[in-house]
Structure 1
Amino acid sequence: MVNFETNLLYNLPKIMKYSISGLYAIADTTLLSSKDLGSAVSLALLGGANLIQYRDKSQETHRRYQEATSLQQICRQHGVPLIINDDITLAAKIGADGIHLGADDPSLVLARQILGDKAIIGVSCYNELSRAIIAEQKGADYIAFGRFFPSKTKPEPIYASIDLLQQARKILHTPIVAIGGITPQNALPIIEAGADAIAVIGGLFRSPNIRAAATAYKRLFSSQYLPR
């Protein structure tokens, strides 16, 4: 639990909210070592990533702080927001642009109290439209559904469907992020069904050419593919 008095010393985000759209690159430390993390994220940004998430599930506090701080600097140079997975305390300490919360993480309301009105708060809603509706009502800045395809990073037996995206697009006003096994080859129907952004882990950071992979995802959101 975060101490609110201590939190007064943290650097809250000083910038306006960003648009949640396009390629959302998730830098997972199970795929990227500390020495490769910064360069990999830089390549993703050069290729066209619009958001970066730092995802580390370990308890190595010092290393996580150093890595997140380094990524925040890189993202600032590119004018792209850094989202921290799960950890409100870390997000507050480094002045990250936002937080991504899952079902077992602290509440959205608590995250907003600690990180402030300008923070981007995303919520995983898996394949549950009802959860998404509640998250939107509580002030989520984006909703994430998935997984949509088999995924090595997210092997849980939770599948979201095209129909879910279409229903959500009709009901929700909040940006929608799709995740889970999405590649440049299978992404277009997901985008056409209503996803504003595609979150990618392995499809990007397992690629031998991260920049080219990022560009391939980015192109899917161009007018030549989507005349909307």
Structure 2
Amino acid sequence: QGLRKLTRRHGALLIINDDVILAAQSKADGVHIGRHDTGLADARARLGPQAIIGTSCYNQFELARRAAEAGADYIAFGRFFPSRTKPDAVPAGIELLRRAKRELDIPTVAIGGITATNAAPLVSAGADMLAVIDGLFAQPDIRATAGQFCRLFTHHRDRK
């Protein structure tokens, strides 16, 4: 509940990872589900039509297509680079982002080992969002690093 209050105070969304029940109990804005979590239809039924529901698609375009057709609000591909958080995650190719941008009408997240120095090709290929942990929070100046990520999207948008 404390985290929910904090996100509301700062105008931020609260998306819970892997736990639909916790998302419902905490009145989160949504949930991110993976292959072994609650299914998309069940998550939607429990959280309602207003909830933001995203799903991991790893390195599989067909999972993304099915998630989009089933009503996911966003899809996530990755890992694009080696990751300390999930060292055994399957690698994904940047072409997945290009293909999703061409063939699917859904926001796309890139995840896995992303830093401010390796993120530009992902944004250029079509990533609408980046999921970053160490690439932000393990940096000496988190605010400056966050600014670098923001500028990547601004620069890409301005070049269109």
TM category (shorter chain) comes to over 0.9
Task: Give the structure, 1 or 2, with the largest relative contact order (CA under 8 Å, sep 6 or more).
Answer: 1
Whether 1:110 aligns to 2:56 is no
Moved runs in structure 1, 4+ residues, more than 2 A? 223-226
Which of the numbers 47, 51, 55 marks the counterpart of 1:119?
A: 51
User: What number of residue pairs does the alignment pair up?
Assistant: 160
Tell me the TM-score normalised to structure 1 length: 0.67
Question: 1:96, 1:187 → 2: CA distance?
Answer: 28
Identical residues among aligned pairs (%): 53
Distance 1:210 1:147 in 2: 22
Tell me, which stretches of 5 or more residues in structure 1 are unaligned? 1-68
Counterpart among 168, 184, 204 of residue 100 in structure 2: 168
Residue 225 to residue 138, structure 1, CA distance change in 2 (3 Å): closer
| Aligned-pair CA distance for 1:70 | 2.1
User: Where do 1:47-58 residues align within 5 Å?
Assistant: none
Change (3 A) 1:155 1:226: farther
How far the C-alpha of 1:138 sits from its partner, in A, is 0.6
**Normalising to structure 2: TM-score of the pair?**
0.95
- What per-residue deviation string (whole Å, max 9, x for no partner) do you get for residues 159-205 of structure 1? 11111111111111010000001111111110010100011011112
Question: Post-superposition shift, 1:224?
Answer: 6.6
List runs of 5+ in structure 2 lacking aligned partners.
none
For the residues of structure 2 that align with 1:201 and 1:181, how far apart are their CA atoms?
Answer: 8
The aligned amino acid for 1:140 is A
Shift of 1:108: 0.5
